[in-house]
Structure 1
Amino acid sequence: MTARIGVITFPGTLDDVDASRAVRLAGATPVELWHADTDLHGVDAVVVPGGFSYGDYLRAGAIARFAPMMGSVVEAATRGVPILGICNGFQVLCEAGLLPGALTRNIGLHFVCRDQWLEVASTTSAWSSRFEPGAEILVPLKSGEGRYVASEEVLDELEGEGRVVFRYAGDNPNGSMRSIAGISSADGRVVGLMPHPEHATEPLTGPSDDGLGLFYSALDAVLATA
């Protein structure tokens, strides 16, 4: 079986081609999904990539959340289809209610663009199972609204249920609460993170190939339920 992973394109999406390349390098078949469509074409998993969907008008991810394709994604998530939101995709998943909390302007109001070390805080999600607990991976970070915030109650719940998937290692680049870089849904099938694993798939073009671990993990999750 060859897994098919859909990658959504919204107006303003920048990283859909990179996400599709990462899917292909991991051994799956990328499937293009258009924001105005509703057909997921029977994909086994979905990536909501980074960029500036709908120009980030109102606030990042707020309009994309109402795109016809996102209605299908929300329904797919209820069936346990693995969903990954990267950067703007993370913002979209939070706006859509698939993940708790919100992404706000970075502390200091500066856009951050750098290679960033992350600690793998949980390996129980569909997108992190290939990593060793506590492993550190190097992937690019590029965002102006990447500061994760949530109520103390939600943060305690995420911590207690092992749903903090990635943390910023070393210094906190954007002021995210509890240094959170990525979280999962309660069932571990939906994951959102601010840094860009799709830009860390080959040592020649990225700081590492550590990002492939997320896509290999998704393939494992898909094959386990096939």
Structure 2
Amino acid sequence: MRVGVITFPGTLDDVDAVRAVRLAGGEAVNLWHADRDLHGVDAVVVPGGFSYGDYLRAGAIAARAPIMDEVVVAADHGMPVLGICNGFQILCEAGLLPGALTRNVGLHFVCRDLRLRVESSATAWTGAFAAGQEIVVPLKSGEGRYVADAATLAQLEADGRIVFRYVDAAPNGSTSDIAGIASANGRVVGLMPHPEHAIEPLTGPSADGLGLFTSVLAAVMSA
């Protein structure tokens, strides 16, 4: 299974995402923001960082990079796509996920290990988990407060598209303690915390994050 990992100017966590893909048993393929070819990958990770320095607003410029045109088309055809932190912001800006990520409540950058509850295991990226399972992964962001209008929030709830919630009150003020959501078909997932930093106990608070990467490999194999 070939999983593409995109690098934009200002991306910080692409190397970590590549390592997570490899540790899960996949072949990581580096993709550049100016590419117009996904090079035959089976899934895509849009990693965290500060693409284009978060100018205008986080993810706004990266969402219009040439590679994202290809990602949008591929996602529309069912390719699994994961957006982590800045990647989540980019997916929202690109229209692949609803809502937006705004400045944290209190305007403080949050960096800590947090417990998340897996609300849905029915996505391409969460099949290895059980609904209701709690995992521990790091959060590090200044613009991680998820917001959406009332109709969108109601639809996400009704459709079971809220994938992760903060177990304790969201430190960033995210609406309904939402940490991650999915597209209508469950193939596109975005979350603010960093599963790629929790893939083995030696380097992270847990190995819980590896489950997202093993999940997508299994999903692609079974498709």
Q: TM class by shorter-chain length?
A: over 0.9
Matched letter for residue 19 of structure 1: A
Q: Distance in 1 between matches of 2:58 and 2:16?
A: 20
The counterpart of 1:8, out of the listed 6, 9, 16, is 6
Report the aligned-residue RMSD. 0.4
Number of residue pairs matched by the alignment: 223
Q: Counterpart of 2:49 in 1: which secondary structure?
A: coil
TM normalised by structure 1 equals 0.98
Q: Deviations over 1:160-208 (max 9, x none)?
A: 0000000001121110000000000000000000000000001000000
- Deviation above 6 Å: which 4+ runs of structure 1? none
Identity of matched residues, %: 73
Worse-superposed segment, 166-175 or 40-49? 166-175
- Bigger shift: 21-30 or 170-179? 170-179
Matches within 5 A, 1:173-188: 173-188=171-186
Structure 1, unaligned runs of 5 or more: none
Instruction: State the Cα deviation string for residues 195-223 of structure 1 (Å, max 9, x = none).
Output: 00000001000000000010011011100
Query: 1: distance between equivalents of 2:77 and 2:102?
Result: 29
CA distance in 2, matches of 1:127, 1:23: 12
Matches within 5 A, 1:6-85: 6-85=4-83
Within 2, Cα distance between the matches of 1:158 and 1:71?
A: 25
- Distance in 2, Cα, partners of 1:38 & 1:195: 28
SS at match of 2:212: helix
In the alignment, what sits opposite 1:121? 119
C-alpha separation in 2, matches of 1:14 and 1:172: 24
Alignment-mate amino acid for residue 98 of structure 2:
P
Tell me the TM-score normalised to structure 2 length: 0.99
1:221 corresponds in structure 2 to: 219
CA distance in 1, matches of 2:114, 2:34: 33
CA distance in structure 2 between the partners assigned to 1:171 and 1:66 by the alignment: 33
Q: Secondary structure at the match of 2:73?
A: helix
AA aligned opposite 1:109 = L
